A and B are shown apart, each in its own frame.
Chain A
Amino acid sequence: MDLKTLYRDIILDHYKRPRNTGALEHPSVEARCKNPACGDRVLLQLSVADGRVAQVGLQGTGCAVSQASASMMTEAVKGARLEDARAKLHEFRRMLVDGVDEAQLDKQVLGDLLTLQGVAKLHARVKCALCGWSALEAALDQREDEVDLELDKSLPEAKAGGM
């Protein structure tokens, strides 16, 4: 999928109309992630009930890739069992960070998220796409400190901070 199509068909929809935005009234857990090189920020709230993600509240600013990916994440996990949310997170990281081939990805788990596979080749944008997902991971792990993607050694070195 070329860049224009990726943006036109998927990213821009979520960028202009992000899903599940706003603060939750009674969040069970809250997590934050930032990508300093790009200025992307995500504040994610989840309310968890009966082992499921009952409600999701997303607040964020940043580039189209980061906000769209975070928005798609909220759609993917809303209503999901916690272990299924983790499975999606794991598979998304395999697709985006490990650059695993489409043939070896679990399409059932990923669903629509597969459309973001093109971002894996845009090395400078991987952290952007991960911002919302790293917030999800922190929320599921109930970690309170803001995740800073610049300090995450598991991620590719390339960054768009610039000279």
Chain B
Amino acid sequence: MSVETTALDTADCACLSPAEVRDDFPALSRRVGDYPLAYLDNTAATLKPRAVIESIARFYADCPANVHRGIHLLSEEATDAYESARGKVARFINAPRADEVVFTRNTTEGLNLLAYSYAMPRLKPGDEILSTVMEHHANIIPWQIVAEHTGCTLRFARIQPNGQLDLDDWHSKLNERTKIATCAHVSNVLGVVNPVRELAQAAHRVGAVFIVDGAQSAPHMPVDVRELGCDFFSCSAYKLLGPFGIGALWGRYELLESMPPYQTGGSMIHTVMLEGTSFALPPQRFEAGTPAIGDSVGFGAAIDYITGIGMDRLHAREVQLSAYLHHRLGEVPGLRVIGDWYPGKPGIASFVMDCAHPHDVAQFLNEEGVAVRAGHHCAAPLHTFLDIEATTRASLYLYNTEAEVDQLITALGTVREIFS
């Protein structure tokens, strides 16, 4: 595998320099024993800038009241904060309407919501759902449950040896019985970017809706749901510098309007009587109970932060550092990256080493301050498909540097030395 290393000098690049942002992240000053922290586990969760942390603290200090326009001042402020955050998410993904954005706990909850509210009432025996073998469990298991309950058939498109989706296989499995097609926009293990626009068009031609798992794309590249042409898009705040506990599900209004609620209770109703209840319009219909208001403020602040930097600049920088990461990994003997590098590959590199098991690798990397993740990364079927037990995964975000990649490579040298 040869990796083009275009100019590694960031001064030449019209992209972000990590020096612009690193001081904003308090966790980056942590040390692991004698070593500086090299946080390369961004696919799992990202660090938080002060602006996000402070926005949440300020909310809790100033107006931690409940939403839904309670007449008093603090409630108005809380409602404005919550709805303003919703607007920010809508603009971030270029949704046509803010009321097409439902706040969820995370990407997983968004996909579960679709399984229960969109799929369960609609699908019947003979209908099909098309997913892929590379999916995160959140985009597999809810559909397994749907198949079990409705009698529909769940199918999985394969990947090619280089990690890319096997488009021939995908198209051959898409047919007029397909009612839902879904895939990850970016694979959390392989780092491949799926051609969502093309897939959504193909899905629509057979009368299927297209659902995008956007957990790994929304943080790392410009996302425009209108341009993608998908019907639903689910993502998480904590993967784009926001707090844990909140995410967003975007869906076409006419589809959301046709769906029954997912959870029921307060806030999502129109009229409630003992004899029966009618439900609110979207998005409130899908937001039962008191929401994570403080976290929505943090979500909005995170979006402000990364849009302030510019998603194009952020993306360009990440692609550049990803090339460097893959280039250096390619120099380590006995190390194989799963999912070939290609120009533009996101900063996700999952790999195996001949000499040591991923958990032992991660253990020694931690000894030298390098944070990576080891295991199946909630993509066990993918690992089974590849006949690999587990992988070690390094993943980048805007604050990572070439020096941190070098730190990783040095630590891998230690692993080789100890295990040979």
Residues of A within 8 A of B (CB): 3-4, 7-8, 12, 37-39, 61-65, 122, 124-125, 128, 160-163
Taking a contact as CB atoms under 8 Å apart, the answer to whether B389 and A162 are in contact is: no
Residue of B nearest to A62 (CB): B357
- In this complex, the member of A8, A39, A61, A162 whose beta carbon has the largest number of chain B beta carbons within 10 angstroms is A162
Residue of A nearest to B239 (CB): A163
Interface of B toward A, CB cutoff 8 Å: 43-45, 188, 356-360, 362-364, 367, 373-378, 389-390, 393, 414, 418-419
The answer to whether A161 and B367 touch across the interface, beta carbons within 8 angstroms, is: no
B393: chain A residues at CB < 8 Å are 162
Query: Which residues of the other chain, B, contact A8 by a CB distance below 8 angstroms?
Result: 418
Q: What are the residues of chain A within 8 A of B414 when measuring CB–CB?
A: 4
State the Cβ distance, A111 to closest chain B Cβ, in Å. Answer: 24
Chain B residues, CB < 8 A from A125: 359, 363
The residue of chain A having its C-beta at the shortest distance from the C-beta of B366 within the complex is A3
Contact B357 A160 (CB under 8 A): no
Minimum distance in angstroms from A41 CB to a CB of chain B: 9
Asked if A163 and B418 sit within 8 Å, CB to CB, the answer is no
**In whole angstroms, how far apart are the Cα atoms of A124 and B363 in the complex?**
10
* Complex alpha-carbon distance, A64 and B367, angstroms: 16
Which residues on the B side are within 8 Å of A63 (C-beta)?
357-360
User: Known: A7-B418, A39-B389. Contact between A65 and B360, CB under 8 A?
Assistant: yes
A163:B44 contact, CB within 8 angstroms? yes
Since A63-B358, A124-B359 are in contact, a sample of 18 more A-B pairs with Cβ atoms closer than 8 Å, ordered by chain A residue number, is A4-B364, A38-B357, A38-B375, A62-B357, A62-B389, A63-B357, A64-B356, A64-B360, A125-B363, A160-B374, A161-B378, A162-B376, A162-B378, A162-B393, A163-B43, A163-B373, A163-B377, A163-B378
Residues of A within 8 Å of B358, CB to CB, are 63
CB A34 to nearest CB in B, in angstroms, measures 11
CA gap between A125 and B362 in the complex, in Å:
11
Residues A122 and B363 in contact, CB atoms below 8 Å apart: yes
Q: Do the beta carbons of A38 and B367 come within 8 Å of each other? A: no
User: Which residues of the other chain, A, contact B376 by a CB distance below 8 angstroms?
Assistant: 161-162
Report how far A110 CA is from B158 CA in the complex, Å: 50
Chain A neighbourhood of B357, CB < 8 A: 38-39, 62-64
- Output the residue of B357, B390, B393, B419 with the most chain A CB within 10 A: B357
- Find the B residue at minimum CB distance from A11: B360
Q: How far is the CA of A61 from the CA of B389 in the complex (A)?
A: 10
21 A-B pairs whose Cβ atoms sit less than 8 Å apart in the complex:
A3-B367, A4-B364, A7-B360, A12-B419, A37-B375, A38-B357, A38-B375, A39-B390, A63-B358, A65-B359, A122-B363, A124-B359, A160-B359, A160-B374, A160-B375, A161-B375, A161-B376, A162-B375, A162-B376, A162-B377, A163-B188
Contact between B364 and A163 (Cβ–Cβ < 8 Å)? no
Give bound CA distance, A122 to B359, whole Å.
11
Measured in the bound complex, the distance between the Cα atoms of B391 and A163 in whole Å is 12
In the assembled complex, the Cα of A8 lies from the Cα of B360 at a distance in Å of: 12
Query: What is the distance, in angstroms, from A134's C-beta to the closest C-beta of chain B?
Result: 17
Which A residue sits closest to B391, measured CB to CB? A162
- CB-based contact B418/A4 at 8 Å: yes
A12 touches B375 (CB 8 A): no
Using CB atoms, name the residue of chain A closest to B377.
A162
CA A21 to CA B73, docked complex, whole Å = 73
In the complex, A124 Cα to B374 Cα: how many Å?
Answer: 11
Residue of B nearest to A35 (CB): B359
Closest Cβ of chain A to B321, distance in Å, is 21
Residue of B nearest to A37 (CB): B375
Q: Which residues of B contact A124 (CB under 8 A)?
A: 359
Give the distance in Å from the alpha carbon of A62 to the alpha carbon of B43 in the complex.
Answer: 25
Interface centre among B188, B356, B359, B373 (most CB of A within 10 A): B359
User: B46 to chain A: closest CB distance in Å?
Assistant: 12
User: What is the CA–CA distance of A86 and B222 in the complex, to the nearest angstrom?
Assistant: 60
